[in-house]
Structure 1
């Protein structure tokens, strides 16, 4: 069961979040997908921190960046799209989004580990108290 959960985490992380955010920004001139991406990545990394799924988190990020980079390189063939992102091009933007998402993931992962450690300590202290009573 734990293997299936980790496989699902890798599958969810494999979605090219950075590319989808950039694509939505280009098509609809909307920044909402960046917020949605941040929330999804935050929740996934928090869950990974709770169940201690380090490798799925790392593999998922590598796959997500690779797929985003590949899809973006195909989309860059359109000259209008290349001119849309003027201060930095879309490749640099995908790298920047990926770095920022990793920072978000580290924060949420550490919060989850702290919460999980506190939760485990509470359970262990309750078990010790029960053993002392008997």
Structure 2
């Protein structure tokens, strides 16, 4: 039961649209700091998910986060007309960048999961 509750909590934390928030901060404040924060937070969530329960929250959480980012990118383009398509994220469109960044943030998460698996095996011994 404890693993299920922890898994649900991790999925809920993953529901934050990390990629959208990072892109928005980059566009609005010209700050790349949120990309680093996104990598750290998602890697920590992947580590905790693997160490405390299993890989299911990692999979579901990343899918939900990407979908939420797509949703907010679409709303930003439709309602505000900020001009994200004006070429700020050249050579990609904002939607393409969501896909690319969502795939790229999986790399440090896989390393964090490998690290958690190693720590988990050491604790069992």
Same fold (TM over 0.5): yes
Does residue 1:98 correspond to 2:102, yes or no? yes
Q: 2:84 aligns with which of 70, 76, 81?
A: 81
Indicate the larger mover: 57-66 or 70-79.
Answer: 70-79
Cα distance in 2, alignment partners of residues 79 and 65 from structure 1: 21
TM-score, normalised relative to structure 1: 0.84
Q: Is the contact between residue 76 and residue 82 of structure 2 (CA under 8 Å) also seen in structure 1?
A: no
Note the aligned Cα RMSD (angstroms).
1.2
Cα distance in 1, alignment partners of residues 106 and 30 from structure 2: 24
Q: What is the count of residue pairs matched by the alignment?
A: 121
- 1:116: Cα distance to partner? 0.9
Q: What residue is the counterpart of 1:118 in the other structure?
A: 122
- 1:69: Cα distance to partner? 0.7
Q: What residue is the counterpart of 1:49 in the other structure?
A: 50
Q: Secondary structure at the match of 1:76?
A: helix
Higher share in helix: 1
Q: What residue is the counterpart of 2:15 in the other structure?
A: 14
When residues 104 and 92 of structure 1 are mapped into structure 2, their CA distance, relative to the original with a 3 A threshold, is same
Cα distance in 1, alignment partners of residues 3 and 21 from structure 2: 29
Cα distance in 1, alignment partners of residues 106 and 89 from structure 2: 22
- 1:102: Cα distance to partner? 1.1
Q: Secondary structure at the match of 1:30?
A: coil
Q: Secondary structure at the match of 2:16?
A: coil
